[in-house]
């Protein structure tokens, strides 16, 4: 049953470019319905040139909260009146919370979302990660949140590999102050590192379903020899959730390795954002997850 929209309906949403593919409206509107909040959550396409204008306009409109996705997570930090310590450390913001005195508090719930499935294996007991090696593929914006999560878990060492060595070096240098166990990993040495890894996290877009590129879903960030090098029991975590599973996770499952995709991270970071906006300690995570899965299935069938 559709919710009634009235003159009292409040607005929340997600800023990005592109953003029409986002599952956030489906999962947040399901939660808002469940909670009985008279809010509506919209996808708000925001080109980089319009970011400042849109952020200020949303404040003027008394928007209840905003999520921020690619490519704005770093740029939006400069538009915040205040940053939480985590967002300031990462230099990346994915959630804007209106301040009582005006302006936006910039925070980051991606770390909490990333950690959630690693802290619960479904039986209530997560494996111990302290002192175990983690390998991260990619050094873009989401990799910073991943590394922060791995630091919180106590992983050591944390190795970061990407195709451009200069990008990896810059990434490690930028994070070194708060991630001393972080080390650059040359791609040609990836196999040896994977043989010792307890956790592999893919933050690259390789294997993501891309409009107009039917072959994208069959791409894997690792070569067969690198896949074969994965340690027995290594958990493989791909932040991509479309398709489900990705080529990487299909290959990992064929080797009987534990697998995680990015859908739960999406749900949990969204739930964390909603708690901040609403002031509620408990939000309907199950309803959010179910709505996201339903929307994802519909989009894979070509539905709007």
Rounded distance between C-alpha atoms, residue 207 and residue 247, angstroms:
6
- Give the CA angle between residues 9, 12, 17 to the nearest 5°: 140
Same domain for 86 and 181: no
What's the rounded mean pLDDT across residues 129-156? 94
Answer yes or no: do 151 and 128 share one domain. yes
Residue in this structure with the two tokens 């539905």, named with its chain if needed? 303
Domain that holds residue 138: 122-257
For residues 157 and 183, the answer to whether their CB atoms sit within 8 Å is yes
Dihedral, 91, 277, 50, 204 alpha carbons, nearest 10: 50
Of 222, 239, 257, the residue that ends a domain is 257
Least confident range from 38-42, 212-216, 267-271, 292-296: namely: 212-216
> Any idea how long the chain is?
304
Q: Are residues 169 and 282 in the same domain?
A: no
Are 206 and 295 contained in the same domain? Answer: no
Which of 1-15, 110-124, 152-166, 285-299 shows the lowest mean pLDDT across its residues?
A: 110-124
Asked if pLDDT for residue 123 goes beyond 50, the answer is no
Task: Say which range, 120-129, 132-141, 177-186, has the weakest mean pLDDT.
Answer: 120-129
Q: Please report where in the chains the tokens 């509506």 appear, as a residue.
A: 40
Whether residue 115 is contained in a domain is answered as no
Active site residue 73: yes
Q: Are residues 66 and 190 in the same domain?
A: no
Structure tokens, 130:
């302290």
Q: List Cα–Cα distances, 277 to 199, 206, 272, in angstroms.
A: 33, 33, 9
Residues 87 and 202 in one domain: no
**Do 189 and 139 fall into the same domain?**
yes
The answer on pLDDT for 165 being more than 50 is yes
Same domain for 214 and 236, yes or no, is yes
Same domain, 155 and 105: no
Residue 142 covered by a domain: yes
Q: Rounded to an integer, what distance in angstroms lies between the CA atom of residue 185 and that of residue 198?
A: 16
The CATH number linked to 292 is 3.40.50.10860
Are 30 and 47 part of one and the same domain?
A: yes
Residue 127 pLDDT grade (very low, low, confident, very high; cuts 50, 70, 90):
low
For residues 274 and 248, state if they share a domain. no
Candidate list 28, 64, 72, 73, residue with the active-site label = 73
Residue 100 forms part of a structural domain: yes
Residue 282 pLDDT exceeds 50:
yes
pLDDT at position 208 is 84
Average pLDDT across the chain, whole number = 92
Query: Is residue 117 in some structural domain?
Result: no
- Name beta bridge partners: 43: 14
Work out how many domains the chain is built from and give that number.
Answer: 2
Q: What is the pTM of this model?
A: 0.90
């Amino acid at each position: 049953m559709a919710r009634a929209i009235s003159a009292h309906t409040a607005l929340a949403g997600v800023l990005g470019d592109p953003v029409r593919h986002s599952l956030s409206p489906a999962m947040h509107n399901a939660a808002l319905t469940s909670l009985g909040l008279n809010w509506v959550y919209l996808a708000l396409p925001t080109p980089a040139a319009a970011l400042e204008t849109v952020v200020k306009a949303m404040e003027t409109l008394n928007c209840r909260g905003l999520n921020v996705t690619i490519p704005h997570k770093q740029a939006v930090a400069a538009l915040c009146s205040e940053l939480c310590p985590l967002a300031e450390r990462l230099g990346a913001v994915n959630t804007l919370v209106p301040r009582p005195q005006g302006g936006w508090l910039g925070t980051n719930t991606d770390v909490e979302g990333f950690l959630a499935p690693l802290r619960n294996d479904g039986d209530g007991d997560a494996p111990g990660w302290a002192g175990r090696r983690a390998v991260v593929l990619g050094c873009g914006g989401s990799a910073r949140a991943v590394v922060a999560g791995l630091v919180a878990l106590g992983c050591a060492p944390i190795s970061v590999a990407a195709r451009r060595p200069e990008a990896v070096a810059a990434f490690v240098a930028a994070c070194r102050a708060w991630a001393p166990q972080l080390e650059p990993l040359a791609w040609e040495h990836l196999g040896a590192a994977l043989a010792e890894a307890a956790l592999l996290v893919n933050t690259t877009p390789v294997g993501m379903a891309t409009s107009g590129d039917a072959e994208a879903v069959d791409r894997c960030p690792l070569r067969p020899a690198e896949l074969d090098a994965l340690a027995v029991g290594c958990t493989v975590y791909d932040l991509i959730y479309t398709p489900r599973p990705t080529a990487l996770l299909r290959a990992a499952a064929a080797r009987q390795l534990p697998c995680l995709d990015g859908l739960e991270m999406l749900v949990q970071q969204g739930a964390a954002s909603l708690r901040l906006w609403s002031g509620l300690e408990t939000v309907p995570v199950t309803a959010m997850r179910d709505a996201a899965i339903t929307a994802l299935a519909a989009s894979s069938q070509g539905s709007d």
